[in-house]
Structure 1
């Protein structure tokens, strides 16, 4: 079947006038003396069919994917009594910690306290099925609850009285869960890397300030303050309302003081008794539960016989069990209303959760899979809505308690779920008496540590001043406008900064310098050795022989390549020079694509033209000159140009380049034409007399694109042409490619010498012999360019004339 297909393809190309790149390539020049020493190897072209076949799933891959979703199947069969003991203790401890937090955070979301218990229960009950961290607790968080409250306020303003707060929260949570579930199943967890750290840091700081501002009126018993306005207005109105302070302030302020006192005492005792530090840490984490029990008991004593209104605000009746269970309302109108608020919710949910999970993974030396964590989040949010839960994510406070309590597997959260069920069915009557001011004090105490401290801000300034400014922009926008706008503004500014850095970072022209190894003398070195060293190669500098071939490998000097302008960390006193007159080395700093190709090509071409002599004398007739050519036509300027070297080769360091797009390839083609017009005799631009070498370009598709554009392989091997009435000989008659070869057999550790260019199993070229202008590294590329430049100079053609009298090899 292949011949007909080939024939049809050839006919199609001919009819459509498509030039096949392979038909234009010259025959490969392979030195005859290498036959039998170096194996022949040509680089296979990547094809679209090959790429499509790599995307087709296999049965083995499908089974592996299914097993990767349900990770508990890997460790649950090995579950043992020791693990159960650790998980049960840690889970029960966290359960008591989560109860007051969940109820308090539900109030931030403008929901009744039982919704926080529903949310924490679902997260604890489901995470172990999908999760990859043993220390994560999925539940309510202050930031997530605050955002849910903002969404509820926004929807209520647009549709007043149409939807209840619970319906809005469940719809938002269901949509969030479906999106997160899709991201997790498609293994798109890598997209979180597009969200930089600084916007999240600014958001968390601003969110903590906002939470404390919104809870301050409740803490002080101040009424009449709209806590859903911009944070700065809430702060101002709260200060204006201080004369309306109620008895709630005594409960709220004393609860904060008690919480800090318990934490301070436990921290001191942990330092004094290191052997019991873990015990004191657990006691400290239970301070929230203790404070809630204490103030609930006080409230019960005050209100048990009180038939009238309570002297301070209390939580009031709480539904017992899962009374609010049911499918989430997903009407078109409601979903349309919550969708604009969804991006901010998703960003915070994912970033907060992954950051916590990775932090514990680094601490305890296990791997966290972001896609799987997002899948666990999506499942908890989507299925949680059916039981009455709202948006949930990893909670740092509860996760820290779980870790300190000695959790051994992700199943520890399941034991926390048992405590939450107990609270929902047996303790709702007790929760009736919880003072609202005490819950506000708990929330303020829980988020007070979240703002970025001054020490960290100073570190931001030292690390990156532009990002420090972005941090302040995010905080100020959040306080004076809104949290949602803040996250969008800071992410957009950060991405703009990244784009500017990526597209406007200039490349560097490199030169070479020879370096040596220096080692400080050890006490065991003899005085004679030191004396010999100091008299031959400087103090404590290992002497280097005149002929490297006879030197030990550790004593060989080597060439390195540094920017000629010293705009890096190199010592400006070090002499850096071009490897050869007319050979230029250019390094791409961070990729090469359509966003930065224009400035790279402009810099490359202008720099080379001003430092090399043209191939033909500039015209002195104004009628034939370009109107934009303002170069003064004096004898002095022409003499200065004639003293410049001829342009021989351009070496591009592509170590930082992976993919190359059409725009960047076209930019290189334009640069080649421009430099050929500059360097070659005549101005038609159809001759090629400048070498182009590419170092460190490993991507097969990028190499293929350059080959299609005429780079990478020698051109004109058999070409003869007439220039200015003279017949040119083949300029490549003496040209020989330079190949990097490797031994076909594995050598011993530390390398193995190859006798007389032959390995025991023969020598293999590292790259295809049909692409001699693609090089393994910069040293090989420079060596090839310099060798060819010297060969052309040795030919004697144009040795005393203008530039461009020679035609070189690599195009």
Structure 2
């Protein structure tokens, strides 16, 4: 039959000398792992096989067919010639595979980054007309890539986690709307509208100049109808005929190339014999890499684009990491954010030597690549080969590509970036604050630029985060009695005789569920804790932004639900900062004096010096208010030894605590109670005074030391007994573990019972003669009920 025994828990102190020695001993291994992690391709390239090659080839060519027309359209958004989009696509596709931890991501020009570069080009042109758009694009790529590379190398990818999803979705949606409206004039062939103005101005000027619509609208609207119609029909027949899903998928993907080819052919035919084209066309695209050179970034250029660099780095990293994480979750693999940032940084540094502008992960092309069955990042190399083929062999055919067709391709691509009504509805149901971040990003981007949209959404997100930290949820807890375990008996046959065996011969003691007093479902069932005992749960770490707020709330609640110790003070006897009145104290006369405060720390993951000082301040204030020492019990510290160690340092493990300076007693109502208020400051900014009643402090220190020695001796005795028991029994059932320190508990029930017992023992010893008998009677009856159940 298994036996039961008590287990006393304690934690060893951290040996920093050992930890330092271990760190330096393992440092060579860390360096080796760090270097290997910089080139992830080395960990899987030796497993590459023919089947992977076939799948990568199909996926790479598929993406390449899509990236060529998209890149030329995005280059126009960036206020650059079309070939610069192809330069950007080639470098991103080919270089990324060396550093990738995502097989699906497709690097190249994107709509949002192109919009940001275009706005930067327009802004710089107003103040520095001597700086060309190409110089701005190259400098932008080199500097943002260098910053991203540094962030990845020093492993600061954690900064990405501080930017919430609604902020990303907000400026992506705002940018998609901005790009779509910015392409309307090209779609209708309307001249004279600045595509880099604020979106609301483009929107108004478009309808103002709508009568100036040209023949381009036939190409643009027909192209849009074909693109959306082809996708709709392919999706419809995929659901109807699932066995043809893959051929229909590739047919759907070809729609971008098909619309460009047919649009170009028709444009060529209508231009035969004409000196001036009736529609706006792409015209000359130089073959090869004409802009390849060492970047020449002047201080003037850097100063001109400095204002756009922060938002450029944010978009560069956020868009890429967000897409990589999303497809990693979908396809069941994990990416390394720091390594992805290194990859995107190196890619843009290298791209600047080819004359490219910044590139990052593309959502639409990544989705296509994943659906195509890609197996490794090498698929990007095959996409790069398609781009090279377009640069060297197809540039003469690019001459007649209608601008309206490219505008249709861009609009069709960015429309998927807009978060629809279903997303907004779900976001509103989850959090109105996050909906505010999303809406602010969209509105600011619409009326200003994408830079301001990013800054506003991120700034608002940080403010909301800080507010939540500074104003955590704090609950006063009550308890709901749970049904007791029943004694179960069964009849079994042993040999030829029947015997009744009692499975549980002991009835378990009463257990409780501890919930907020104002719980929406269980509020009617909540019972108050025993008189003089209060319990709180803090749903956030206690740190310097919120410690004062938490302390004020707890103190206020305790004063509202308990009475002041001793006599009611007159107006002249009250302290200058005591806002209570004689009438308030008289109304509270029927309330109990606070005996113990229980703090549930299950949700507290960190306790800094300010938080620790706040707990000390709470106890000091309540001690003075009650006229005696108020016990502080802490629940659920087992998961965080660091918090437990901090509380021990402040003296909460062996209460009452020692006050290193100042009087330990206070006179209340003619009777003197020894109030151990503890140290006024745990980590004082100004050192405590050396003057004071040293003899009282020494006595209390000796008393505390004796109590600590008793705890340690009991712990050693129990540990020795447990070791001996291990040799006597094979299987041991343990009771709920007990902490070495009597004020730290593993359950709320244990904390309440301990507080009840100390409450009774203090009154039996005669320490609190001025208390009413009802308190003791109430507590005693509660203890008796629990003991009768054992």
Asked if Structure 1 and Structure 2 have the same fold, meaning a TM-score greater than 0.5 normalized by the shorter chain, the answer is: yes
CA distance in structure 2 between the aligned counterparts of 1:594 and 1:416, rounded to whole angstroms: 52
Which one of 614, 619, 626 corresponds to residue 569 of structure 2?
619
CA RMSD of aligned residues (A): 3.8
The equivalent of 2:616 in structure 1 is 669
The equivalent of 1:522 in structure 2 is none
Q: How far did residue 627 of structure 1 move?
A: 4.7
**Mapping 1:385-424, distance limit 5 Å:** 385-424=352-391
User: Structure 1's 602 and 549: CA in aligned 2 closer, same or farther, altered over 3 A?
Assistant: farther
SS of the aligned residue for 1:428 comes to coil
The number of equivalent residue pairs is 720
User: Structure 1's 662 and 637: CA in aligned 2 closer, same or farther, altered over 3 A?
Assistant: closer
Contact 2:736 2:746 in 1 (8 A): no
User: Structure 1's 152 and 798: CA in aligned 2 closer, same or farther, altered over 3 A?
Assistant: same
More deviation, 219-228/464-473: 464-473
Q: How far did residue 239 of structure 1 move?
A: 1.1
User: Structure 1's 275 and 741: CA in aligned 2 closer, same or farther, altered over 3 A?
Assistant: farther
Q: How far did residue 472 of structure 1 move?
A: 2.4
CA distance in structure 1 between the aligned counterparts of 2:733 and 2:227, rounded to whole angstroms: 75
Q: Are 1:213 and 2:181 matched, yes or no?
A: yes
User: Structure 1's 789 and 103: CA in aligned 2 closer, same or farther, altered over 3 A?
Assistant: same
Contact 1:199 1:490 in 2 (8 A): yes
Q: How far did residue 470 of structure 1 move?
A: 3.2
Q: How far did residue 292 of structure 1 move?
A: 0.7
Which one of 358, 362, 374 corresponds to residue 329 of structure 2?
362
User: Structure 1's 47 and 441: CA in aligned 2 closer, same or farther, altered over 3 A?
Assistant: same
The equivalent of 2:493 in structure 1 is none
CA distance in structure 2 between the aligned counterparts of 1:410 and 1:677, rounded to whole angstroms: 68
**Mapping 1:390-539, distance limit 5 Å:** 390-516=357-483
CA distance in structure 2 between the aligned counterparts of 1:302 and 1:722, rounded to whole angstroms: 102
Contact 2:198 2:448 in 1 (8 A): yes
More deviation, 358-367/695-704: 695-704
The equivalent of 2:521 in structure 1 is 570
Q: How far did residue 625 of structure 1 move?
A: 2.7
Q: Are 1:153 and 2:122 matched, yes or no?
A: yes
CA distance in structure 1 between the aligned counterparts of 2:648 and 2:208, rounded to whole angstroms: 73
Q: How far did residue 630 of structure 1 move?
A: 5.7
Give per-residue Cα distances to partners, 1:450-476, cap 9 Å, x unaligned: 222222222222222233233222222
Q: Are 1:228 and 2:188 matched, yes or no?
A: no
The equivalent of 1:343 in structure 2 is 310
The equivalent of 2:626 in structure 1 is 679
CA distance in structure 2 between the aligned counterparts of 1:88 and 1:742, rounded to whole angstroms: 71
SS of the aligned residue for 1:562 comes to strand
Give per-residue Cα distances to partners, 1:82-104, cap 9 Å, x unaligned: 11111111111111111111111
SS of the aligned residue for 1:508 comes to strand
CA distance in structure 1 between the aligned counterparts of 2:405 and 2:567, rounded to whole angstroms: 89
Which one of 574, 578, 591 corresponds to residue 644 of structure 1?
591
Q: Are 1:560 and 2:509 matched, yes or no?
A: no
User: Structure 1's 742 and 441: CA in aligned 2 closer, same or farther, altered over 3 A?
Assistant: farther
Which one of 771, 774, 795 corresponds to residue 765 of structure 2?
795
User: Structure 1's 557 and 411: CA in aligned 2 closer, same or farther, altered over 3 A?
Assistant: farther
TM-score w.r.t. length of structure 1: 0.81
CA distance in structure 1 between the aligned counterparts of 2:664 and 2:514, rounded to whole angstroms: 38
Give per-residue Cα distances to partners, 1:711-750, cap 9 Å, x unaligned: 2234479x999998999999999999799999999x9xxx
Q: Are 1:775 and 2:726 matched, yes or no?
A: no
User: Structure 1's 722 and 228: CA in aligned 2 closer, same or farther, altered over 3 A?
Assistant: closer
SS of the aligned residue for 1:98 comes to helix
The equivalent of 2:783 in structure 1 is none
Which one of 139, 146, 156 corresponds to residue 171 of structure 1?
139
CA distance in structure 2 between the aligned counterparts of 1:592 and 1:276, rounded to whole angstroms: 58
The equivalent of 2:506 in structure 1 is 550
User: Structure 1's 630 and 465: CA in aligned 2 closer, same or farther, altered over 3 A?
Assistant: closer
Contact 1:584 1:651 in 2 (8 A): yes
CA distance in structure 1 between the aligned counterparts of 2:618 and 2:421, rounded to whole angstroms: 50
Give per-residue Cα distances to partners, 1:343-376, cap 9 Å, x unaligned: 2222222222222222221221111221121111
More deviation, 227-236/182-191: 182-191
SS of the aligned residue for 1:449 comes to helix
User: Structure 1's 346 and 576: CA in aligned 2 closer, same or farther, altered over 3 A?
Assistant: farther
User: Structure 1's 459 and 41: CA in aligned 2 closer, same or farther, altered over 3 A?
Assistant: closer
The equivalent of 1:88 in structure 2 is 57
Q: Are 1:108 and 2:108 matched, yes or no?
A: no
Which one of 550, 553, 559 corresponds to residue 600 of structure 1?
550
Contact 1:743 1:764 in 2 (8 A): no
User: Structure 1's 571 and 59: CA in aligned 2 closer, same or farther, altered over 3 A?
Assistant: same
CA distance in structure 1 between the aligned counterparts of 2:638 and 2:10, rounded to whole angstroms: 16
Q: How far did residue 632 of structure 1 move?
A: 4.6
Give per-residue Cα distances to partners, 1:752-789, cap 9 Å, x unaligned: xx9999886998997873x4433344444334333323
CA distance in structure 2 between the aligned counterparts of 1:39 and 1:558, rounded to whole angstroms: 20
TM-score w.r.t. length of structure 2: 0.83
Contact 1:562 1:576 in 2 (8 A): no
Contact 2:619 2:630 in 1 (8 A): no
The equivalent of 1:241 in structure 2 is 209
Q: How far did residue 708 of structure 1 move?
A: 3.2
Q: How far did residue 654 of structure 1 move?
A: 1.5
Contact 2:63 2:368 in 1 (8 A): yes
Contact 1:231 1:479 in 2 (8 A): yes
**Mapping 1:248-327, distance limit 5 Å:** 248-306=216-274, 308-327=275-294
User: Structure 1's 290 and 40: CA in aligned 2 closer, same or farther, altered over 3 A?
Assistant: closer
User: Structure 1's 664 and 381: CA in aligned 2 closer, same or farther, altered over 3 A?
Assistant: same
User: Structure 1's 292 and 678: CA in aligned 2 closer, same or farther, altered over 3 A?
Assistant: same
User: Structure 1's 111 and 766: CA in aligned 2 closer, same or farther, altered over 3 A?
Assistant: farther
Contact 2:311 2:454 in 1 (8 A): yes
CA distance in structure 1 between the aligned counterparts of 2:716 and 2:388, rounded to whole angstroms: 69
User: Structure 1's 51 and 480: CA in aligned 2 closer, same or farther, altered over 3 A?
Assistant: farther
Contact 2:6 2:738 in 1 (8 A): no
Contact 2:56 2:374 in 1 (8 A): yes
CA distance in structure 1 between the aligned counterparts of 2:191 and 2:635, rounded to whole angstroms: 72
CA distance in structure 2 between the aligned counterparts of 1:225 and 1:219, rounded to whole angstroms: 12
Contact 1:46 1:704 in 2 (8 A): no
SS of the aligned residue for 2:416 comes to coil
SS of the aligned residue for 1:58 comes to helix
User: Structure 1's 261 and 759: CA in aligned 2 closer, same or farther, altered over 3 A?
Assistant: same
SS of the aligned residue for 2:594 comes to coil
CA distance in structure 1 between the aligned counterparts of 2:593 and 2:44, rounded to whole angstroms: 69
Give per-residue Cα distances to partners, 1:295-348, cap 9 Å, x unaligned: 112222233543x12111111111211110112232222112222212222222
CA distance in structure 2 between the aligned counterparts of 1:765 and 1:330, rounded to whole angstroms: 68
CA distance in structure 2 between the aligned counterparts of 1:464 and 1:74, rounded to whole angstroms: 42
